[in-house]
Amino acid sequence: MSSRLETLRAQIRELQNAFQQEVDERRAQFRYRVEKRRVVFEAEMRKAHREAREGWLSFLSRARPMVILTAPLIYGLIIPFALLDLFVSVYHAVCFRVYGIPRVRRADYIAIDRQHLAYLNGLQKLNCIYCGYCNGLIAYVREVASRTEQYWCPIKHARRLTATHARYDGFVDYGDATGFRARMLSIRDDLADEAVTETTPPATAPPSDGPQR
């Protein structure tokens, strides 16, 4: 069973590598490169981006009234998101040191860079900053939570879930009392091993800095 799981994990890694290769090919298509985590567009492409930008008044004129009226509900979520960020970051900074769990590199998950794209107007850039932060924060919190789960309760659930984090497949099967007692410490040790082997950001993580205009 374990060899089968290892085979599946290897296939997932191959797919991730193929995905990153496709991203690299797209960079050539849209004529930009990444230098020291900063995206640089060719001059002609930057010019084309500026010419393609739509003014924010024109942008708003195409929005339905109910979309505009519900905007405060969207932007108001920044308060609980910021509080979530604060509390999880404090927990992460204190408890991970106590437990000996390797720290999560926040910059690998939160990327705020799309606001530098010249074909976006001011409102679109604000939306991109907001979405980049909130979605990146959720990914960061999920990684903190998954490492916590691996340390304290690495047991699969009885029912099938729609989506699970990347560590879930390595957990002990539901109902396997013998396996849980035998593997609990080794699963924790796997976290410590990651601190040694984890030298690069995740393959799908975007650069943390924005592209030049």
Cβ 160 vs Cβ 174: under 8 Å: no
pTM for the full model? 0.78
Mean per-residue pLDDT pooled into runs of 10, the chain (213 residues): 72 85 77 76 85 88 91 96 98 96 94 90 94 97 97 95 91 94 91 65 47 47
Task: Report the distance separating Cα 116 and Cα 211, nearest Å.
Answer: 6
Question: Domains of the chain: which residue ranges?
Answer: 50-197
Which DSSP helix (H) or strand (E) runs through 152?
A: helix 122-152
